[in-house]
Amino acid sequence: MTLLKRVKRLPEGFVWGAATAAYQVEGSTGKDGMGKTMWDDFLVSKGRFLPDPASDFYHRYPEDIRLAAEHGIKALRISISWARVFPNTDGDPNPVGVKYYHELFAECRKHGIEPYVTLHHLDSPIGMFSRGDWLNRANIDSFVNYAQFCFEEFTEVSQWFTINEPISLAFFQYVVAEFPPADLFNFSSSFQAMHNMALAHARVVKVFKEGGHQGRIGVIHALKPVYPIGDTPDNRHAAELWDAYLNRFLLDLTFFGKLTDRTSALIEEICGVQEASFSVEDGDYDEMQAAVGLNDYLGINYYQPQFVQAYAGENRSKYNATGEKGTTTLRMKGIAELVKNPDVPTTDWDWNIYPQGLYDILRQVDANYPAHPAIYITENGLGSKDALNAAGDFVDDDDRIDFIDQHLDALLKAREDGVDVRGYFVWSLQDQFSWSNGYNKRYGLFYIDFETQRRVIKKSALWSKEIASTID
């Protein structure tokens, strides 16, 4: 019996993949010469959960990669932990860390899986973090050195991404206080970090191309279409402001190498109401402009849209990091307030389930950024409180199959309408450690019993195998 739903067939040459991130799967933090990351002490101080053992990918990657291959996965997003390779951010590399990644990439190849490798996935090393993380421009030099080392060392990798989701890092670090250093409504730092990450990306792309390295390179942006609730001019303006913050700031820097006049005006308005500012040095935009055409592809992580209305009161945030439905609040003075759309279902973490949003954001990127290269959806998936069946040998996650199937359907419609989307990576390959949520928010095609590290097949893995088999 077929498990396929709306989508019956994937296009020829389509890349079917799954995604992971070093700190969320490896465990073994601090082992074999690894340095600390920005998370280690922060998580201890919060006292809710720890990043060990995560999915113990550090030891169990052969099993996970075999399972991935057996269930149709042809491409795997993996990130390199900077702190495992350079324990002191700069200085000498850690040979054990370097060896681990060589072995990991070799294991992928052994199973016919193409590794797509991210250099920075929300996990700055502690040395970089303690001197200001992305706010300190000296750290851009460190990142360029680390990237250059990786390009020269890991010649078996040909698909690279520089930074995963600059917006999420900047927003969770400085606006809603979920990521270290847990600042609240510090829009200055959030814009500065995004600007500096865009510059870091531009420099690394240049180094990659000038070094004559083989393969492709790009950046990964998390994009969220923003819709006004209640079609009034004020609410439409609120949506435009929030879209400028969430999407346009970084897309403009990536694909125009500067902010357009309209984006610039919107960002200035946000800075005005939030008493924020950030600095741009002479030449920054020149460097960004020089890098625009050097991007070989764009990764888009899409989970959900945001519905907003105008808001003039005081700032207030409550992030739902527990899966207690209906507990999210985000109100930003003079910008917007998040509101629930009664017609759109949500997860236990209040994330909107809205496949049309993927179609819309793809069309928006295509229409507004003519210089964009080929697009890959590098993350999309459903976080839920999956449970094992009574026998403990299967997880029936039909809701996840529906979620992925509907988003894939939206992606294929965007393709039919002319958007060059070439692949899709399910977040995530296996259940993993989630930054703000710990271990009860599960996304995997494979279930992990975090006590025993036993892997259990979910129905979505069987579906993955079937949909992958439709690619010529």
**Which residues of this protein are in contact with ligand BGP, per CB under 6 A?**
21, 24, 122, 164-165, 168, 222, 301, 379, 383, 427, 434-437, 441
| 457: helix, strand or coil | strand
Alpha carbon distance 101, 322 (integer Å) = 33
Closest CB to ligand BGP among residues 274, 437: 437
Distance in Å, CB of 301 to ligand BGP, minimum? 6
Distance in Å, CB of 349 to ligand BGP, minimum? 7
Distance in Å, CB of 232 to ligand BGP, minimum? 31
Cβ-proximal residues to 359 (8 Å cutoff; 6+ apart), any chain: 410, 411, 413, 414
The CA angle 337-187-245, to the nearest 5 degrees, is 60
Alpha carbon distance 109, 400 (integer Å) = 28
Cβ-proximal residues to 448 (8 Å cutoff; 6+ apart), any chain: 55, 430, 431, 432, 454, 455, 456
| 62: helix, strand or coil | helix
246 CB neighbour count, 10 Å cutoff: 20
Catalytic residues: 379
**Closest C-alpha to 34, from 81, 83, 102:** 83
Alpha carbon distance 281, 5 (integer Å) = 52
Closest CB to ligand BGP among residues 355, 383: 383
| DSSP tag of 443 | -
Is residue 339 within 8 A of residue 309, CB to CB? The reply is yes
Closest CB to ligand BGP among residues 238, 353: 353
From the number of C-beta atoms within 10 Å of its C-beta (0-12, 13-18, 19+), residue 224 rates as: buried
**Closest C-alpha to 381, from 455, 438, 444:** 444
Q: Which residue has the tokens 């950024």?
A: 369
Question: Which tokens is 252 given?
Answer: 């403009």
Distance in Å, CB of 54 to ligand BGP, minimum? 12
Angle between helices 355-368 and 398-416 (to 10 degrees): 30
Closest CB to ligand BGP among residues 14, 435: 435
Closest CB to ligand BGP among residues 122, 419: 122
Cβ-proximal residues to 451 (8 Å cutoff; 6+ apart), any chain: none
Strand partners, 300: 221, 377
Closest CB to ligand BGP among residues 139, 320: 320
Q: How far is CA 30 from the centre of its chain?
A: 24
Distance in Å, CB of 300 to ligand BGP, minimum? 11
Closest CB to ligand BGP among residues 101, 425: 425
Distance in Å, CB of 165 to ligand BGP, minimum? 5
With b for 16 or more beta-carbon neighbours within 10 A and e for fewer, the 3-17 pattern comes to eebebeebeeebbbb
Task: Please give the single-letter amino acid code of residue 185.
Answer: F
Is residue 431 within 8 A of residue 400, CB to CB? The reply is no
Alpha carbon distance 376, 424 (integer Å) = 6
Closest CB to ligand BGP among residues 243, 379: 379
